[in-house]
Structures are given as structure tokens and as C-alpha cells.
Structure 1
Amino acid sequence: VVMSGITCCLRFPGQLNADLRKLAVNLVPFPRLHFFLVGFAPLTSRGSQQYRALSVPELTQQMFDAKNMMAASDPRHGRYLTASAMFRGRMSTKEVDEQMLNVQNKNSSYFVEWIPNNIKSAICDIPPKGLKMAVTFIGNSTAIQELFKRVSEQFTAMFRRKAFLHWYTGEGMDEMEFTEAESNMNDLVSEYQQYQDATADDEQEGEGEGEGEGEAA
């Protein structure tokens, strides 16, 4: 479902097109932070579809709902660095832009302040089969660190007992490779946390210090 939504602009005509290069450029502000939360709306049962009035505000509200995310990670526990919404169906570009602005203004604490206007939107005129309109969502949220923390805890518990390790060492791998991978993942979690806590003031202070050093030199 998600891949279909992401590639629909490549396959069908639309008012506001997006390609995979644009997605990568807009969604990855730092090279290591390229793990996304994905979602889709509307997620309703087949029988109740006809009774549910679909609109751009309704889709936007559903799209940011934790229940519509396809990863076991709650976006309310982190902040969005960037996000992308790919709408499908007949709708106005103006309404989509208004809703994207609206969601950022109303929920500003869930978006990092130092990347303004960080939601990219695309509109494809052709909706998915059986629906009048739909939206595919990709979010680069610091909340994804929850998922890595869980994996890390499970790994640590198994690695301590050396569970299944002989299968890997028997094929030529070294124990140190596992320790290094664990360290890499912990660094990634720390990096997500660092950007979650960062503020626009931190950025300005960093620039100010750099200028001061330049003048002193």
C-alpha cells in the first residue's frame, strides 16, 4: 500500500508531482537519520467505507494518528524532523497546503522548530481502486528510536547468553562485529535523541561561537 502511494506520481498524472529523488532530499536532513515511520489513511473496514465522509482535513487527522502508523512506535513520544504526505484523488492544492500548515501550527511541539515548513506534499489525481481519496504518509520522526531501543534490549539479553552465536562464528564472523553493531545502534539512538532535544537557540549559539572564533583568529 505504501509503495503504491509513494510511486503513484511516477505512474499517474497529478497537480503536484513528487519523485523518489525529491523524497530522499526532503526527508533526510542528516545522512544517518533515514529510518521512517509510514502510514496510510483511510484505514477503515470495507463495510464502513461508504458511511465515512472523506475530506482533506479528515485524511490529515487520520494520517498523523498513531493508530495509522505501520511501525510499533508512537510519534507522540518524539518530534518530526521532516514528513511527506502523498494525497490521491480530486482535491485542491490550496486545501492541502492549508491543512499541512494548520497541522504544524496546532501541533508545533511535535515538529522541530529549526526546520520550518518541514512537510512536503504531493497530489496525484487518480485515487486507489475503491476509494475517492487517500493519503500515504512518510515521517522522519525521532520517535523511531523506541523501536531501536527495543531491538537493543532484546539483542543484549540474547548476546549475554551467547544465544545462536555459534551459527555466526561458525560462518567466519567475529564476536566483535556484534559488539560493534550494538554500539552503532546505540549511537544512532543518541543521535535521534540529540536532535529531538535540539532547539533553534542551540543552532544560533553554535553559529555565534563560530563567528567569535573567526574574529579572534
Structure 2
Amino acid sequence: VVEPYNSVLSTHSLLEHTDVAVMLDNEAIYDICRRSLDIERPTYTNLNRLIAQVISSLTASLRFDGALNVDVTEFQTNLVPYPRIHFMLSSYAPVISAEKAYHEQLSVAEITNSAFEPASMMAKCDPRHGKYMAACLMYRGDVVPKDVNAAVATIKTKRTIQFVDWCPTGFKCGINYQPPTVVPGGDLARVQRAVCMISNTSAIAEVFSRIDHKFDLMYAKRAFVHWYVGEGMEEGEFSEAREDLAALEKDYEEVSAETAEGEGEEEELGEEY
């Protein structure tokens, strides 16, 4: 019930005290479990197993060997254009149930396309409504750079995937040879290859907008505020946090509206594609 309060207050702290934050939204992950894994009533265990795959992919290069390693500090370097614009959208593919998997193994191109699908996003927002500033693709398992190059080249030609014009469409890519591991008897099928995408997109403002709306409805009546005040908080902290989020929404709006004065050269192929 008090989720909007907690979300606004914690985002206010995350703005000040973190360099990169990855957004995960229960509602979006519930939908993925229902749609892709055919789980009628997902539990927190189902959700956490899916989230664990994302966390595992983020840290895989610290633990295993690969063709292109992505260090955790590189997320900040490559994905954060301005200090406040550091809330990342995450997606993971393939999400297929053990029953559906049989022996089919999805290609690098297929899982890459799937990672960009709005239905794969782990926060409730549609990337087609915003613009990407940067994206990081972390592949695991049986993946070679040649296939990644081809998949990224195809993504760049898609009209639905738009980048801001002041940022060359640079994709940070990581390849790790360790295939994803699944919990025995769990919901997810064992696959040969998978990809986790962390992207910085202006569409994430939709998430903040929705939280703000729910916050406003409750705070207008000062509903449940007494619990927080009783724990030593002040009412002014609510207003301060809400104003900070309104400013953040505006920041994202401005970032997607800005245009570059001179179009940059396409960057050379290297570790970033």
C-alpha cells in the first residue's frame, strides 16, 4: 500500500548517493512470469529467480572468462551521460520455460531482438516512447563476436529503436563463455546462450511519472504519513523527495529533446560496437 512513498523516498536517496541504479519493477516481472513462463500466480521466488539471472549477468565477467569482459565500473563510464541520469532499464532474454524449450536454442540475433522488445523490459515502460542514450549488452554462453556484430548491426537499422542524436549509437558489448545456470526444478529452461541488456533510455521517466501519480493521490490526503512521522521522519522530507523526482522527470525530458549541434562521426569498431 505504501509502495509509492517508499519508492519516491528511496529514489531521492539513490539520486544523491549512487552512481548507477538498475530499475526492477515487480509488476513488469510478474507479467514476464505470466506471459513467458506460464505461471498463473507468480510468487516472490519466481520473481527472484529471474532477477538473479540479471544480477548474475551483470557480475559474470568478474567471475568467469570471456572474449570481451565488462567491468562493473564500465557501466558508469559508458552509460551515464550526466550524473543525475543514472537510472538504467534492464531486460533479459531468452525467458523460456523448461516445458517450452525442448531442444530449440535461440540464435544470437533472436535473443538480441528479444532483449529490445518492450515485453522483455523489467520495469513497466515502453522504450519506443523514448530515446536510448546508451546500451550495454552482456552475452553469456556460446556466443562469438562475429554474431554479436551482425546482431547489433541489425538492431541499428530498426526504426523503432531510436538513439538521441547527440550520442553516437555506441553499444557496449560483453561476451562471457560461462552459460547461464538455472535452479534444478526451477521455472527457467537451461539454455546455451543468453543476453542481459542494461540501457539508459529517456522512457524510464514513465516509471517515475507513474510512481509520482500514485504518491500524489495518497499524499494529498496525508494517508499513512503518520507511520513515517512516528518513526522520526519529518513531513517536509516527503515534499522534498517528491520535488526531486519532478525535477528528475524534467531532466529526462530535456535529455531526449536536446539535439546535437554537429553530428559526430560513427565510432570505430572495437570493444564497443
Q: Assess same fold via TM > 0.5.
A: yes
User: In the alignment, which residue of structure 2 is the partner of 1:63?
Assistant: 115
Structure with greater Cα Rg: 1
Over residues 67-92 of structure 1, what are the superposed CA-to-partner deviations in whole Å (9 max), with x where a residue is unaligned? 11111111111111111110011222
Matching residue within 146, 156, 160 for 2:220: 160
Aligned pairs for 1:4-83 within 5 A? 4-83=56-135
After TM superposition, what 4+ stretches of structure 1 lie above 4 angstroms from structure 2? none
Aligned residue for 1:215? none
Name which of structure 1's ranges 11-20 and 175-184 shifts more when overlaid on structure 2: 175-184
Q: Is contact 1:101–1:117 with CA below 8 Å preserved after alignment?
A: no
Q: Report the Cα offset of residue 118 of structure 1.
A: 2.4
Cα distance in 1 between the residues matched to 2:232 and 2:69: 48
Which is helix-richer, 1 or 2?
1
1:41-99 deviation digits (Å, cap 9, x = unpaired): 00112112135341111011101011111111111111111111100112221221232
Mapped to 2, the partners of 1:66 and 1:108 lie a distance apart of: 11
| CA distance in structure 2 between the aligned counterparts of 1:199 and 1:51, rounded to whole angstroms | 47
Distance 1:56 1:35, change over 3 A: same
Match of 1:141 among 189, 201, 216: 201
TM-score, length basis structure 1: 0.88
The question of 1:112 aligning with 2:164 is answered yes
Q: Which runs of 5+ in 1 are unaligned?
A: 205-217
Identity of aligned residues (%): 40
Equivalence for 1:197: 257
Match of 2:240 among 159, 169, 180: 180
1:94 equivalent in structure 2: 146
Distance (whole Å) between structure 1 residues aligned to residue 226 and residue 73 of structure 2: 41
**Contact persistence 1:39–1:63 (CA under 8 A):** yes
How is 1:199-214 mapped onto 2 (pairs within 5 angstroms)?
A: 199-201=259-261
Is residue 88–residue 123 contact of structure 1 (8 Å, CA) maintained in 2?
A: yes
Give the root-mean-square deviation of aligned CA atoms: 1.7
Structure 2: 5+ residue stretches without partners: 1-52, 182-189, 264-273
Q: 1:50 to 1:166 in 2, by over 3 A?
A: same
The structure-2 alpha-carbon separation of the partners of 1:77 and 1:51, relative to structure 1 and needing over 3 Å to count, comes to: farther
* C-alpha separation in 1, matches of 2:150 and 2:123: 27
Deviates more, 1:89-98 or 1:32-41: 89-98
Instruction: Name the aligned partner's letter for residue 231 of structure 2.
Output: E
In 2: Cα distance, 1:200 partner to 1:70 partner: 30
Contact conserved, 2:91 with 2:122, CA < 8 A, in 1? yes
* In 2: Cα distance, 1:18 partner to 1:109 partner: 23
Range 192-201 or range 105-114, more displaced: 105-114
TM-score, normalised on structure 2?
0.70
Secondary structure class of the residue paired with 2:87: coil
Q: Which AA in structure 2 matches 1:90?
A: D
Contact 2:155/2:161 (<8 A) preserved: no
Distance across 1 between alignment mates of 2:78 and 2:170: 8
| DSSP 3-state at the match of 2:138 | strand
Give, as a single letter, the amino acid of the residue that structure 1 aligns with 2:212: S
Deviates more, 1:31-40 or 1:89-98: 89-98
Match of 2:54 in 1: 2
C-alpha distance in 1 between matches for 2:152 and 2:60: 20
